[in-house]
Amino acid sequence: MIKIQLVYDSPKQLQTFKDLNINCLVEYETFDMNEYSQRKKGLSLKRYWGAHMDPFVLISIDNKPTKAFYSEASTEYNAAEQLVQYLSDIFKPVNDNE
């Protein structure tokens, strides 16, 4: 099972991830940094992985963290685009003839 954890601080960031067309079984967990009840969990997750900016995305497969997308890591691609590229690479059809 794939789990995507998203830490965000604006409705626009959340909407960007909702608009992604991810065609696989994925469990989502979101943390709104503007909601007091979710802020502590979001900060804890970001601090553990050394992230400072939002959005921050963590992907876990079978409860093992496999990939994190940091907003501060790339000026060329945002975290949403990086997530789509990563998931498309994971679920790319395998061609046995190659």
Sequence-ordered alpha helix ranges (H) in the chain: 11-18, 36-49, 79-90
pLDDT in tens, 15-63: 888 887 666 778 889 999 999 999 999 999 999 999 888 889 999 999 9
Q: Does domain 2-90 have CATH number 3.90.1150.10?
A: no
CA distance from start to end of the chain = 28
CB 4 within 8 A of CB 57: yes
- Does residue 92 or residue 60 have the better pLDDT? 60
Confidence of residue 85 (pLDDT cuts 50, 70, 90): confident
Structure confidence at residue 32 (pLDDT): 96
Read off the amino acid at residue 48. Answer: Y
pLDDT value for 80: 76
Domain boundaries, the chain: 2-90
**What token pair was written down for 58?**
């963590």
| 3-state percent breakdown (helix, strand, coil) of the chain, nearest 5 | 40, 30, 35
